[in-house]
């Protein structure tokens, strides 16, 4: 099972990064689209975690960096390990 796709990871994002996640998912199509593309990437697609993050930042627009910062500070350990 992919740690990124776990209940613990989702719960962390929803509780610790509520504002950032909502801003990304709801405010701009570019960020929402980039967010929807994270799952196969973060779950061990062809890219490393760093490449996946860089692609999300590039594709996600202005709402992506705050979510990445929040994720890295609060949820990265939960979402990358099982």
Single pTM value for the model: 0.87
Average pLDDT rounded to a whole number, residues 71-82: 86
Question: pLDDT digit string (tens) for 33-53?
Answer: 998 888 778 887 777 888 889
* The total number of structural domains that make up the chain: 1
Alpha helices in the chain (DSSP H): 7-16, 18-27, 29-36, 38-42, 49-60, 64-74, 76-80
What pLDDT sits at residue 44?
A: 74
């Amino acid at each position: 099972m992919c740690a990124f796709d776990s209940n613990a990871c989702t719960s962390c994002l929803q509780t610790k990064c509520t504002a950032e996640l909502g801003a990304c998912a709801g405010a701009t199509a570019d960020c929402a689209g980039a967010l929807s593309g994270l799952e196969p990437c973060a779950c061990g697609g062809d890219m490393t975690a760093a490449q996946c993050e860089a692609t999300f930042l590039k594709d996600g627009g202005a709402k992506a960096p705050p979510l990445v910062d929040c994720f890295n500070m609060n949820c990265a350990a939960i979402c990358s390990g099982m």
